Amino acid sequence: MIAVPAQTGGKPSARGLYAGSGRQQLRPSFQSSVFSMEEILRATNNFSPALKIGQGGFGAVYKGVLPDGTVVAVKRAKMRMQNPHVDVEFRSEVKIMARIEHQSLVRFYGYLECGEERIVVVEYVPNGTLREHLDRCHGRFLDLGTRLDIAIDVAHAVTYLHMYSDHPVIHRDIKSSNILLTHSLRAKVADFGFARLGSGAGAGEATHVTTQVKGTAGYLDPEYLKTCQLTDRSDVYSFGVLLVELASARRPIETKRDIKERLTARWAMARFIGGTAADVLDPHLARTPAAERALEMLLELAFRCTGPVRQDRPAMRDCCRALWAIRKTYRDMLAAADVTPSTPTDSPAPATSGGPDACTASSNATNTIIATTN
């Protein structure tokens, strides 16, 4: 059985959006559970194929219902003998998720460790991933205002992990396919299999040194890749890549494009420096003055986040403040122009940057890097 932190009661201190998530207040109103196999089988109707909602590097994901009616996602790991990394990721995810709770993080309900079975039970978030929405797989377009809201949700979640959880947490795999959306398009950060506890060292300092680099191609902090020193600024780098992805709808690596455009963040920076930042904007977004100004501000923040020197990158808390200012500027300019956010066309989108099968592929392809270094 995995040792998880004891739950404590008491009234949490007010921290604005982080209220109830202070370092000394762990889940005052919620207890995580150790599930039995019988409970898991009942919740998923014996792992019915009809309830399977996803497949990833960790294993399969099923929709389930607990006895009290709570709808959950049940993540069933691949058998350990088939994947030596499963146990490590499973234990990391359970230990860390048992410590954290925030409105923009997927909620942890419990786990099962029995024989070869490794199962994590988390909140069911019904509206797919951010990547799927950027690929327009769900028939609902994300306007720029919604994308800014999503960026702010993610920034608050990662700020909480770095600063307000009981122990600093480095997610290590911030990416669009790990961000789930609710019906109201609020974002929730998921998948803590690669997450690590930090040491509480000063901002930008190495908080965990590992001999194994993990993450996803296109989002990986190059300094972490080179030195194997994992810090909170590694998450900041990934977040900067995500901001470019939100603005452009392109994937971080576009293998089918011209070589100068394959690394999306680098391509966007070249456009920004060259004075053609508007070319970065998702072509399905309306090019209003408000959108172009918000885009410039968003790209400026993204490039600070993806700076080559980790100490020069902003803290996630500063990213939150910057994003609030960007959203305010965008809304104020729209109001002044009396413009309702819209898209250039309501017709179906052409093939996305991920190709005609992007909607199917996005839920399966992880491009995960697990590179052993000396």
Measured in residues, the chain has a length of: 374
DSSP secondary-structure letter at 162? I
Q: Report the run of H or E that residue 96 belongs to, with start and end.
A: helix 86-97
Q: Find the mean pLDDT for residues 184-189.
A: 98
Model confidence over 153-164: pLDDT tens digits? 999 999 999 999
Which two three-digit tokens encode residue 56? 């990833």
Distance between CA 242 and CA 246 in Å, rounded?
6
> Which pair of structure tokens corresponds to residue 19?
């209220």
- The confidence score (pLDDT) of residue 198 equals 83
For tokens 């003055």, name the residue: 289
Half-sphere exposure of 160 (CA within 13 A, CB side): 26
Cβ count within 10 A of residue 363 = 18
**Residue percentage of the chain with pLDDT more than 90:** 66
Q: What is the pLDDT of residue 56?
A: 72
Predicted confidence at residue 341, as pLDDT, reads 64
pLDDT for the residue 274: 93
What lies within 8 Å, CB to CB, of 8 at 6+ separation is 24, 25, 26, 28
198 versus 111: the higher-pLDDT residue is: 111
Mean pLDDT of the chain, nearest integer: 84
pLDDT value for 345:
44
Contacts of 328 (CB under 8 A, 6+ apart): none
Report the SS3 class of residue 26. coil
6 φ, ψ (degrees, to nearest 5): -65, 145
Provide the pLDDT confidence category of residue 89 given band limits of 50, 70 and 90.
Answer: confident
- pLDDT, tens digit (0-9, with 9 covering 90-100), for 188-227: 999 998 999 887 655 555 566 675 789 999 999 999 999 9
Domains in the chain, CATH or no CATH each: 27-123 (3.30.200.20), 130-372 (1.10.510.10)
State how beta strands 71-77 and 117-123 pair.
antiparallel
Query: What pLDDT, on a 0 to 100 scale, did the predictor assign at position 115?
Result: 86
Res 133 pLDDT > 80 = yes
Which two three-digit tokens encode residue 197?
A: 């506890």
Flag the least confident range among 18-32, 96-110, 360-374. 18-32
**pLDDT tens, 279-321?**
999 999 999 999 999 999 999 999 999 999 999 999 999 999 9
Question: What are the tens digits of pLDDT across the range 341-353?
Answer: 655 543 344 444 4
Distance CA 107, CA 72 (A): 9
R_g of the chain computed on alpha carbons: 20
Q: Specify the range with the lowest mean pLDDT, choosing from 23-37, 171-185, 188-202, 224-238.
A: 23-37
Q: What is the structure's pLDDT at 211?
A: 59
Q: What is the pLDDT of residue 343?
A: 54
Pair of tokens at residue 88: 């490590």
Instruction: Please pick, among 135, 149, 173, 221, the residue that the annotation labels catalytic.
Output: 173
Burial class of residue 344, CB neighbours in 10 A (0-12, 13-18, 19+): exposed
Nearest C-alpha neighbor of 150 from the set 108, 191, 180, 127: 180
**Alpha-helical runs (H) found in the chain:** 37-43, 86-97, 130-134, 144-159, 222-227, 232-248, 264-273, 289-305, 316-337, 358-361
Mean pLDDT of 8-16: 38
372: pLDDT strictly greater than 90: no
Look up the pTM and report it. 0.85
Residues linked to residue 34 through DSSP beta bridges, in sequence order: 111
**Structure tokens given for 59:** 């294993």
Cβ neighbours of residue 289 closer than 8 Å, sequence gap 6 or more: 333, 337
Active site includes 191?
A: no
The answer to the question of whether 52 is labelled as a binding residue is no
For the cut 60, the answer to whether the pLDDT of residue 165 exceeds it is yes
pLDDT tens digits, one per residue of 231-282: 999 999 999 999 999 999 999 999 999 999 999 999 999 999 999 999 999 9
Could you tell me which residues are beta bridge partners of residue 105? 189
